Amino acid sequence: MFLLDLLAQLTKRRNYLRLYRAQNKPEEIQRQILARILQQNSKTRIGREYHFSKIKNYESFKKYLPIQNADQYKERLQKVYGGESKELMAQAPHFFAMTAGSTGDYKYIPINKRFKKDLERSVYAFYYLIEKECPEFSDQPIQFLVGSAEGGKSPKGISQGFVSGFNYRNLPGFIRRKFIIPYWVFTLEDAQDRYYAMARYLADCPELVAIGAFSPINISNVAAIAIERIDSFIKDLESGTLTLSKSYAQTPSKVELKVNNALANTLAELKGDDSVLAPAKFQAFTKLVFPSLKYFATWMGGNMKFSLTHLDEYFGKKEIFEMPFSASEGIFGVPFRLNYIGGIAAVTSHFLEFIPEDEFNNENPRTLGAWQVEVGRYYYLVITTSGGLYRYNMEDLVLVKDTWGQIPVLEFISKKKRQISISNERINENDVTNAVVEALEQQSATVNEFVLVPTHAMHYKLLVDDFHGNLTQFVNNVEANLCKTAMGYDFEREDLLLKPLSCIEVKTGSLRDYVRGIQFRSDLPSAQFKPVHLANDFDLHLTFEAIQEIQAVETRKQNSATPQINISEEMI
């Protein structure tokens, strides 16, 4: 055990020091990474087409290679998926990461050994930093929630699935031994059974100090389903069993779990004679089941801010260390501070470029290296990796929030596809999330789901699902907060190019069904539920059954009414 602990510490420290030493020379490190990637893949089809062997610096790289987004790259990725790995990469893939992005249509991102090694540089640095900020992570049980890697095979027989599950299965023993939940639990097809099994295993480890998941919703669901099935949960604690709604081929013939009569009796007392556990008792439940839980590791930025309120509802306030800013395509930011949104640009893993926000729609937008961006400015992220992506436009809007030495600190703001304009306001999902969360706090209201919808009637409609509070006050607060948070929205409202916001309360459950419907288009268990708070489809509200609608009351004199122009006969 001592040798495993020593190996773990050395591995994490070595990769952290690699990042630490890049603080004062990010340009040098980034240019080295670019040169290595191009040299290793110069004989691929794309390498010959774009003359990788002739590219000597970043300037010529920009000259030879165009920036391409997912749609433009689709054909090349499909060729690799079909078995033509030399289309993009010298080293063949050994896994395909299935990613649904924000649309639910799967892409298959190739993972080879070189790419995985590049990822690990930042992943191990992340582990070092989280243990530095939260010492309990190094010597106490923790648990990360992942998706299933069992997504079948590619046309040439290569395994595919969610990359979080693939990484979970392949983590070195010195990290994996600290986890409680066996991998097969994450492959259960029924989501409620899956979360229930997670809760049941975690209840056997009262020393658990942290739960991690990319989406806060996945952590909330562990508590929510255990509470929903509290009677079964109590019986399973009494008998040391796991009761699922149906049988699964992957479930072991003998599930080894502990008997805990003391916890079962205490939970029974908490529930009392009630048919279900009241919301006022949720936090008491989780305190009993997870008595040592102190931290969460999860995304806090972008549209996840609202989901954090559900964590508070079930668990009470906990310390949070953000998960890395990452996707199946790569890792882009390494969090480094407790309760802080954003991470150190992953300059030791991939080559990163940035398009200034106001130049994104230009035919040939200007790009900057990680050493050239400015604090306080917004950019779209472009990546080049060992996994066959070259000047691949992630269409992720990021804020350069600060610097760590000379390395930029990045905060994810929104996907480009989650930015919309009726006039020219360019409102993004982060703006919407912040405005709604603040409005809820202003009047202590609650809502389970919300989506802002653009309309052809020149105003936005905010759809709310299961709202509790004063809806009129809420919509006015959201309108005021949007004007404060999203400057483009404020300008367009002042110029009368946008009409006041309206709010529609929709049939309970319908927004949840909508979000799930566009997120999950297969039965493969996922651990990255991504909320949708801003729709791209104009007049989407027409597809929902409305209960009531509230119009924002205009407070600014200049917007109280559209000016009327009297046209005289002489003017005609």
* Per-position DSSP letters for 168-234, written without gaps between them: HHHS-HHHHTT--S-GGGGG-SSHHHHHHHHHHHHTT-TT--EEE-SSHHHHHHHHHHHHHTHHHHH
Res 529: pLDDT: 65
Res 120: pLDDT: 94
Which residue bears the tokens 């604090």? 375
CB burial string 10-26: b at 16+ within 10 A, e below: ebbbebbebbbebeebb
Which of 325, 294, 344 is CA-nearest to residue 137? 294
433: its two tokens: 């999330």
How does DSSP classify residue 122? H
Q: Helix, strand or coil for residue 274?
A: coil
Q: Helix, strand or coil for residue 567?
A: coil
Helix, strand and coil content of the chain, in percent to the nearest 5, comes to: 40, 20, 40
Res 417: pLDDT: 73
Q: Helix, strand or coil for residue 327?
A: strand
Res 566: pLDDT: 38
Greatest pairwise CA separation for the chain in angstroms: 95
Res 519: pLDDT: 61
Whole-number Cα distances in Å, 493 to 265, 329, 378, 456, 458: 58, 38, 23, 15, 10
pTM of the predicted model over 0.95: no
For residue 247, with 0-12 CB atoms within 10 Å meaning exposed, 13-18 middle and 19 or more buried, which class applies? exposed
Res 538: pLDDT: 87
Helices (H) and strands (E) in the chain, counts: 19, 21
1-179+304-416: CATH topology is Rossmann fold (3.40.50)
Residues 222, 236: Cα–Cα separation, whole Å: 16
Q: What is the pLDDT along the chain (572 residues), one digit of tens a residue?
A: 567 677 778 889 999 999 999 999 999 999 999 999 999 999 999 999 999 999 989 999 999 999 999 999 999 999 999 999 999 999 999 999 998 654 446 789 999 999 999 999 999 999 999 999 999 998 899 999 998 999 999 999 999 998 889 988 887 777 778 899 999 999 999 989 999 999 999 999 999 999 999 989 899 999 999 999 999 999 999 999 999 999 999 899 889 899 999 999 999 999 998 889 999 999 999 999 999 999 999 999 877 888 898 899 999 999 999 999 999 999 999 999 999 999 999 999 999 999 999 999 888 899 999 999 999 999 999 999 999 999 999 999 999 999 999 999 999 998 877 778 887 787 888 889 989 999 999 988 999 899 999 998 888 999 999 999 999 999 999 999 988 888 778 877 876 778 899 999 998 888 888 877 766 556 677 666 677 888 878 888 888 888 888 888 865 534 434 433 333 333 22
CB 384 within 8 A of CB 392: yes
562: its two tokens: 């559209």
CB 124 within 8 A of CB 131: no
Residue boundaries of the structural domains of the chain: 1-179+304-416, 185-293, 421-559
